[in-house]
Amino acid sequence: MRLHILFCILVLHFFSKIKSVKKMAKKSVKKNQPIYKKKFGTQDVTKTFIELPVINPKAAGIDVGSRSFFVCVGQGVNDVREFGVFTCDLHEIARYLTELNYNSVAMESTGFYWKQLFVLLQDYGLEVILVNARHLKNVKGRKTDVVDSRWIQLLHSLGLLSASFQPDNFTEELRTYSRHRQYLIQQSAQYVLKMNKNLTLMNLQLKPILRDIVGLTGRSIIEAILNNERDPQKMAELAHPNCEHPKEDFIKALEGNYRDEYLFELKQCYVTYQHFQKLLGECDEKINALLQEAKEQKEAKQEAAKSNENAGTRRNSKYKPPKIIKYKNSPLPQLAEQVYNLSDGVELLNIPGINLNTILTLLSEVGLDLSKFPSAKHFCSWLGLAPNNKITGGKVISSHTDRKKNRLALAFRDAANVIEHSSKPIQLKAYFLRIAFKKSRLVAITATARKLATIVWNMLSKKQQYNSNVSQESQAFLRKKKVKTLQRIIEEFGIRPTEIIFANT
């Protein structure tokens, strides 16, 4: 009993001490003054912030979506407005920004919904830039459209956003035709595969004896099959004389089981293939007309500029194209002369591995004016052909190229692949083989594609023709380097002159 009473007295004494300590602490601390622990001391919070200068005071940020646009004009609570996607809504966005005297707009979009708003804002006299979505993905906190628009506006006002490459109106129109043309080629290839499948299911083995089943011989045989011709002897006579295999092989290959369901599907696929080929021809004519119009406009400007001068140095209008190898589904041959005139006499077909398809891709993706790229290194970096070095602690942890889906970079890679399989002694082929021996074939394709992009940039920017002697200078430098290596090996191992055998002697 006594112990219980003593314990209660100690507890009451302990709580009374705590209350007295709290009262003393409240008296010693002033109102609205932060409390810091004694071991940390007081902190000056104002010194932990860095002030950034506002580069664009009248800057707006727009987060583009498929159903609405979020426009931000400041970092306040009521500075974000949502607009629709109809044409009247786009004009309302432009009027809203002009009424606030905003002159610069940054947009971010991962799709193609930005194009109409981009063009309309430019028509209203606003400076519009499109920002790469990868530069804005690290947003702190939860991700919403409102937060994205505020983040875009904040970075753009501080001048921390860079604009993506945008072509001019001519290149944009040509890009639409060129990409649609590529889509038609891809669709045609799908139906060629289905026709080959139907022929194989009927045991008509045309694929082993024909390189292309939709070539001259293949189309003649398919049309004969669809016209109820079943005699292998008569269909074998349709083979072109330049075919590698004899007629006996065609007779064996055309003996099969003609089933109605496969014949029906073969007919449907062949008609669809012809339809896509017709559309492809119309697309080529449209591209040719557009380039011809651009050529005439440029010639008219040159004539108007030369009319006021005594310029008798008119360039010869006769164009002598280099030997053009026409591939399947290649553009019209008139493209070579039109690009030659548009580029002020720069012949891109002299570059090894470059053909009409590569030139059309170059013309439709970036155009012939590469002034937006300050140097060849900037151009290669935009293509994704330059190494992306990541260095930490003085060590290079990664140097791989960026994974970009660039159509022009793919065209340069195809050209590098053509150089590898070339039978001519090309200097670029020696460079390809040397890199492939050191690294791998994939690295050699990327390195050669980068060298081709550098050559194209120098030719179009400096208006100079392709010269293979430049690569010969690099060969001389390589030879000098090899000689030094051999001298070091001879000195290291003490090799005598009598021990060295030369092939010529």
Number of domains in the chain: 3
Residues 367 and 436 in one domain: yes
Q: What one-letter code names the amino acid at 395? A: K
> Which residue is listed with tokens 């496969």?
262
What does the mean pLDDT of the chain come to?
84
Residues 67 and 190 in one domain: no
SS3 71: strand
Instruction: Cite the DSSP H helix spans in 366-503.
Output: 376-383, 407-420, 427-438, 441-462, 469-493
* In a domain? residue 498: no
pTM: 0.78
Look up the CATH number of the domain holding residue 86: 3.30.420.40
DSSP state of 215: S
Q: Read off the pLDDT of residues 297-318 as tens digits, 9 standing for 90 and up.
A: 888 888 877 765 554 444 545 7
Residues 342 and 267 in one domain: no
* In a domain? residue 427: yes
Say what percent of the chain tops pLDDT 70: 85
Residues 118 and 193 in one domain: no
Q: Read off the pLDDT of residues 201-236 as tens digits, 9 standing for 90 and up.
A: 999 999 889 989 999 999 999 999 999 999 999 999
* In a domain? residue 139: yes
> Which residue is listed with tokens 């001298």?
487
SS3 52: coil
Question: Which among 292, 319, 342 is the end of a domain?
Answer: 292
* In a domain? residue 258: yes
Question: Which among 239, 266, 292 is the end of a domain?
Answer: 292
Q: What one-letter code names the amino acid at 257? A: N
Residues 339 and 459 in one domain: yes
Highest-scoring range by mean pLDDT, 17-21, 179-183, 388-392, 395-399? 179-183
Residues 106 and 224 in one domain: no
Q: Read off the pLDDT of residues 11-42 as tens digits, 9 standing for 90 and up.
A: 555 556 555 544 554 444 444 444 334 344 44
Q: Which residues is 60 bridged to in the sheet?
A: 105
Q: What one-letter code names the amino acid at 303? A: E
C-beta of residue 388 within 8 angstroms of C-beta of residue 402:
yes
* In a domain? residue 26: no
C-beta of residue 219 within 8 angstroms of C-beta of residue 271:
no
Domain enclosing residue 448, as ranges: 334-468
Question: Which among 157, 185, 208 is the end of a domain?
Answer: 157
Distance between CA atoms of residues 501 and 369, nearest Å: 54
* In a domain? residue 325: no
Burial of 378 (0-12, 13-18, 19+ CB in 10 A): middle
Full DSSP string of 89-123: HHHHHHHHHHHTT--EEEEE-SSSTTHHHHHHHHH
Residues 200 and 240 in one domain: yes
* In a domain? residue 69: yes
The total of other beta-carbon atoms located within 10 Å of residue 287's CB is 24
Residues 347 and 263 in one domain: no
* In a domain? residue 8: no
Residues 242 and 364 in one domain: no
Residues 140 and 177 in one domain: no
Q: Read off the pLDDT of residues 66-89 as tens digits, 9 standing for 90 and up.
A: 899 999 999 888 899 999 999 999
Token pair, residue 364, equals: 């439709």
Residues 180 and 125 in one domain: no
Q: Which residues is 127 bridged to in the sheet?
A: 104
Q: What one-letter code names the amino acid at 322? A: P
Residues 256 and 230 in one domain: yes
